[in-house]
Structure 1
Amino acid sequence: MVHLDTVTLPFAALGPDNPLPPLAPPRPVTPLIDASAAGPDMARNLAYGRPATLLPYTVQDGYTRELTDGKLTVAVVDNGVVRAEFMLDFGGRMRSLVHLPTGRELLHRNPILQPANLGLRNAWFAGGVEWNLGTTGHTPLTCAPVHAARVVRPDGVEVLRMWEFERNRELVYQIDAYAPEGSAVLHVHVRIINPNAHEVPVYWWSNIAVPETPDTRVLAPADAAYHLAYDGVLRRVPIPVHDGVDRSYPANGRHAADYFYDIAPPRRRWIAALDAGGSGLVQASTDRLRGRKLFLWGQAGGGRRWQEWLSPADQPYLEIQAGLARTQLEHLPMPPGAQWSWLEVYGLLAADAAKTGDWDSACTAVEDALEELVPRHLVDAEHDAARQWLDQPPVERLHNGSGWGALERLHRSATGDPSLELPGVPFDTTGDEQEPWLNLLATGDMRGPLEAPLSYQVTPGWRQRLEHAGDNWLTWLHRGVARWHAGEADAARDAWHASLAATANPWALRNLAVCDENADSAASLLLQAGEMLPTPLRALTVETLQALLAADRLRDALALVDGLPPDLRADGRIQMLECSAAIAEGSLDRAGRLIGAGIVVADLREGEDALDQLWFAYHERRDPTLPRTAHPLPRSYDFRMTES
């Protein structure tokens, strides 16, 4: 049975998107410095497919840490044995999976929804099963709506279908979740469609959050794993014992860690997180979904702090994950017009022999129990049979996602390209964000007030339309963004100068500042852009303060803060930058008031060490003769991923 429901929980609203185009390339939490452990195939995949920017997406950084009770729409799949909930306004994430006969929740069902800066577009939240399509990191669609509908298979089984158009790669993805009568496992059939006439780099990981207890054991059918340490070195390490520690028990890990299990091709693809009694969630799939991974925050202060930042402190979690490649650092080449699909199954597994004993016998026990729960040949057969109904049109629309797929369908259809005419996943609704681009399609022109653009387009097809549109400040602005994304920096600057020449505007000034290699002139451009706005914009203020600090214009930075309205002065990131400027300028009383009151940076980035560096910089400036141990880092400022 498939139906809609609502859940009530405390959540922090996402707030408005940042209107400034993200011109920099995506920044990994840990840059890959040494990949010498990779074989030839992996090395190729590691070097392949990195996007120049996250455009055409905008950044989602308008949230706070103020939680308010509210209702969220979920879609439910329930066959009387398993019950799953999917969050349709948040990437279709599976929020909950309950084994009804025992009443056991198999996932980390986060009782709050608190965005934090761990996603590609910044906003991300912990819990459930996240469907990641795009590039290394949490998908751009993790905090965005998806289309959803009810589909009825030829045999009468109801299916929850969710789909969207991923704009950075121009791919369609389709998720069909269902539970046949009597099935003890939830079935999730995933299909990726490349509607383009060119090869596309593809990245997919299903990220599964599960409860972490002192005796949780994670198992996968491998005897080695690839581990990326925070020193940027990719290492192939033995599993389960590495550096004298049994890593199959995540509670043994002191620091945050990724372990990508190296599963040999003949083995069945699965991963399980089991409790002391040998029971817990198992995820298995058909062979295309090759990779499996364990992620843990670790038991050190920084890892525990991240846990409570994302979820209640008494409900720690870890992630078991499944992906197309062996590691999350890789992309795979998807041929023109190709369709890739696989079937995942999720359920409660009980394997008494897996709770103790050596690794091999524990893995064998899980494989035996998995074969009894859902035989491998039946999963393969179920995947093959899905071809009969994957393109079947929905019988009932449950939820509307974004209008970008519909806009792209219209854009392609105008040139005789039917590649997005997909009856099983209809793209047929547009919204306010698409209006300027619909006008460009209809009139060949683009006009608008001097307000910040709500959206961008950078693909070759849209760039061609922009280059042939009428000349005005807005068209030149968008041309510059598309040119920059294409790697044509000089042509982008020319476009932004032309935008300014047509009509003075802060948005072209800001873009010119971002690509200005001179810190002082970049800061001046940003100050000029800010002066043109009727009210300060948080994102522009943050960039201006960062530029002023880089240019060592400390008094200008503090003067800018002094002139801000109270709401921006209270913003945690702005306070952090103000404190940094005050320390460097020698205004230690000012810095002390800020750091003593407690700076809370709502969008602190994963791996960002700014708060601990700020704490120690302040105390070292006050008395450089004292060691750091004289002023221990407060727990509220400890987000360190390592000891150093």
Structure 2
Amino acid sequence: MSELRLTALTLPTAAVGPANPLPPLFSGADLHQVADASEADEEMRHNIGYGRVPSVMPYLMQDGYTRERAPAEHPVAVLENATLRATFLLGAGGRLWSLIHKPTGRELLFRNPVFQPANLALRGAWLAGGVEWNIATIGHAPTTCEPLHAARVIRPDGTPVLRMWEYERIRGVVFQIDAYLPDESQVLLVHVRITNPRDTTVPMYWWSNIAVPEAPDVRVLAPADAAWQFSYDRRVRHIDLPQPDGTDLTRTTHARDAADYFFDIPDDRRRWITALDASGRGLAQASTQRLRGRKLFLWGQGEGGRHWQDWLSEPGHGYLEIQAGLARTQLEHLPMPAGAHWSWIEAYGLLEADPTAVHGDDWTTAREAARHSLDTLVPQSVLDAELADAADWVDLEPVEILQAGSGWGALEQRRRTKTGEAPPSTPGTPFPDSTLGPDQQPWLDLLDHGHLIPADPHQAPTSYQTDPAWQEPLRAADGWLPQLHLGVLHAHAGDHEDARKAWQRSIENRPTAWAWRNLAALADHTGNPTEATHAYRQALRLAPDLLPLALEAATVLIRAGHPHEVLSLLAALPAARRSLGRARWAEARAALDAGDVERCGRLLHEGIELADVREGEGSLHELWFAHQRATATADPALPLPRAYDFRMLAADATG
């Protein structure tokens, strides 16, 4: 019999930590910037250029984690029937953390043995493993390390449903994930709905990111004979499957470099993807037709790729990703009309196929063997029927609230009520006032009283808005704080001059580190290093103890050619803060630029660990090679230490 229960999971954990209080005005967007899409067709080229965002605002960055882990309990929801046990990590975006096939005891996903945030998401913190739900804009979702609203719903046939939902602030939409396991089902069913409550079209993005174990005997199959390749040279290439250059890319341990492969699935074929071992067994994911795209991501066998795998988990726990999305590639957004509801069904389960066929040399035979087994496991007609049936229960009210998410949906509901707009919620996805908290309180004051209650100017605001709907209320309010927020709105819209004027008015009203810092970030973004360094100095004078500000300023001062000033800035920090990885990196880089090669070398030798090293970031290996070039006695044959090797392309041997 199907059941849904709450429990806790204990994992070695590095906490996500506090959000960075400095708004990421011009950063936090995804790395998937395309330099060359000439091989793509017209539709894809249009979608690649459509819907890009300047930053992850209004969300703040999550970069307060470390590499120090201790056992901690995480709330989880467990769905279970006679065949499958599915465990969802409620505090981390509702991620499907584990899916066990009970008759065999087999874990179908890559289940990470640790909870270790790393800097791969739009807001920074991201976890490897399981199935992650990504919405809004290209990259790992802003909600991936946040709790979602969660509740128990009962379908008309009595099946319990785990419902998770949230108001997504970049696009202003509501997304809803309904997971359930009917009594006799051999697959976990997941119904997803995105609702656009706005009266305008919004760019939309969704990818279900599925991690499965990687091994030499694992092969990835999908119903395509070609793929779109996208690598870290940022070029889109159309390639044949499975061996475009003599290397079988469907066997991921054969690849040297990390890359994305988006399967070019003909419109008349079923949507699915699977990763099967030597016995022909492994996880399969299938869906109804709206979820059009399928993707393979691999880390590659270069030293940097293997290091990333260990960094995200523990040594010996390699994984690859098979993904499913709305568009053909992960480089695209699709236009979602005003008032639209987009729904689909996903299925996850154990596929068992003829091993000789699926691992044979004939690609057509291999993928057709997998498809035939999938049709036996869960026919397409079953998924289509589930999607049709969901219309009868998708808006049923929860019978039990399991977890509260953020208060942003409730705030948006209050704003829309005041302006006479339709509410964003439905009976099935309520946003109660009880979820409103300190982050929403200033905006409630603005709605209800027409002003922002003056905050302590020495404390950074805890939240921001980028929805243009807040512009007029802010214009009508007085004081330094509304002008600070108005500048953020202008900056996000690309109105840089209006942003600068608003922040200057804020400073005229009351000088704060926050307005000076925003002016500094704007000047740096627009290529004015002199103005940027001046503004950062003013900000640091008002908030000398704020580490994120000091580190941000140090990076800009290094680029502007002021290494001695950076060394003085870092020397004034408490010893505990100077010992952090980003501070040590800044010290080493500034020392090298100041001509103190020995000091830089000592820091590199002692070790510099960047807990928040970014995917594609070259800070560590570039510093290492720069120090080697500056050292007269350096051994040119000395290899880059593994601790500094996060290179995504093995061919990048010089940094």
Please indicate, yes or no, whether the TM-score normalized by the shorter chain is above 0.5: yes
Q: Distance in 2 between matches of 1:532 and 1:14?
A: 27
Unaligned runs of 5+ residues in structure 1 are none
Is contact 1:30-1:231 (8 Å) kept? Answer: no
CA offsets 1:228-262 (integer angstroms, 9 cap, x no match): 12222110001111211011111111111100000
Q: Deviation of residue 567 (structure 1)? A: 1.9
| Aligned position for 1:604 | 613
User: Match of 1:437, as an amino acid?
Assistant: W
Structure 1 residue 379 corresponds to structure 2 residue 389: no
| Aligned position for 1:335 | 337
Q: Deviation of residue 26 (structure 1)? A: 4.4
Is contact 1:25-1:51 (8 Å) kept? Answer: no
Of stretches 568-577 and 21-30 in structure 1, the one that deviates more from structure 2 is 21-30
| Aligned position for 1:82 | 84
CA offsets 1:25-72 (integer angstroms, 9 cap, x no match): 544435311100111111110110011222111111111111010000
Q: Distance in 1 between matches of 2:332 and 2:492?
A: 21
Match of 1:38 among 14, 37, 40: 40
| Aligned position for 1:345 | 347
Q: Distance in 2 between matches of 1:566 and 1:528?
A: 23
Q: Distance in 2 between matches of 1:126 and 1:152?
A: 31
Q: Deviation of residue 537 (structure 1)? A: 1.5
Map 1:253-332 onto structure 2 (within 5 A): 253-332=255-334
Structure 1 residue 618 corresponds to structure 2 residue 618: no
| Aligned position for 1:521 | 531
Structure 1 residue 554 corresponds to structure 2 residue 563: yes
Q: Distance in 1 between matches of 2:225 and 2:483?
A: 56
Q: Deviation of residue 4 (structure 1)? A: 0.7
Structure 1 residue 531 corresponds to structure 2 residue 555: no
Match of 1:453 among 453, 458, 461: 461
Kindly tell me the number of residue pairs found equivalent between the two proteins.
640
Map 1:621-632 onto structure 2 (within 5 A): 621-623=630-632, 628=636, 630-632=637-639
| Aligned position for 1:158 | 160
Percent identity over the alignment is: 53
TM-score (norm 2): 0.96
SS at match of 1:245: coil
How well do the aligned residues superpose, as a CA RMSD in angstroms?
Answer: 1.1
Q: Distance in 2 between matches of 1:340 and 1:160?
A: 19
Structure 1 residue 588 corresponds to structure 2 residue 562: no
SS at match of 1:608: coil
Q: Distance in 1 between matches of 2:522 and 2:113?
A: 42
Match of 1:436 among 442, 448, 452: 442
Q: Distance in 1 between matches of 2:361 and 2:380?
A: 25
| Aligned position for 1:241 | 243
Q: Distance in 2 between matches of 1:232 and 1:493?
A: 33
Q: Deviation of residue 467 (structure 1)? A: 1.4
SS at match of 1:388: coil
Match of 2:137 among 126, 135, 138: 135
User: Match of 2:428, as an amino acid?
Assistant: G
Q: Deviation of residue 527 (structure 1)? A: 2.0
Is contact 1:520-1:548 (8 Å) kept? Answer: no
Q: Distance in 2 between matches of 1:87 and 1:444?
A: 39
Of stretches 227-236 and 268-277 in structure 1, the one that deviates more from structure 2 is 227-236
| Aligned position for 1:569 | 578
User: Match of 1:237, as an amino acid?
Assistant: I
Match of 2:416 among 409, 412, 415: 412
Q: Distance in 1 between matches of 2:534 and 2:574?
A: 21
Q: Deviation of residue 631 (structure 1)? A: 2.0
Q: Distance in 2 between matches of 1:296 and 1:229?
A: 10
Q: Distance in 2 between matches of 1:523 and 1:502?
A: 22
Structure 1 residue 390 corresponds to structure 2 residue 394: yes
Q: Deviation of residue 14 (structure 1)? A: 1.1
Is contact 1:277-1:355 (8 Å) kept? Answer: no
Is contact 2:289-2:344 (8 Å) kept? Answer: yes
| Aligned position for 2:491 | 484
Is contact 2:32-2:138 (8 Å) kept? Answer: no
User: Match of 1:529, as an amino acid?
Assistant: A
User: Match of 1:560, as an amino acid?
Assistant: L
Q: Distance in 2 between matches of 1:298 and 1:320?
A: 15
Is contact 1:150-1:396 (8 Å) kept? Answer: yes
Q: Deviation of residue 518 (structure 1)? A: 2.2
Unaligned runs of 5+ residues in structure 2 are none
Give runs of ≥4 in structure 1 deviating > 3 Å. 25-28
| Aligned position for 1:467 | 475
Q: Distance in 2 between matches of 1:489 and 1:386?
A: 46
User: Match of 1:494, as an amino acid?
Assistant: K
CA offsets 1:576-612 (integer angstroms, 9 cap, x no match): 1111111111112211111000100010000001111
Q: Distance in 2 between matches of 1:63 and 1:276?
A: 39
User: Match of 1:203, as an amino acid?
Assistant: Y
Structure 1 residue 403 corresponds to structure 2 residue 412: no
TM-score (norm 1): 0.98
Map 1:75-154 onto structure 2 (within 5 A): 75-154=77-156
Q: Deviation of residue 351 (structure 1)? A: 0.2
SS at match of 1:248: coil
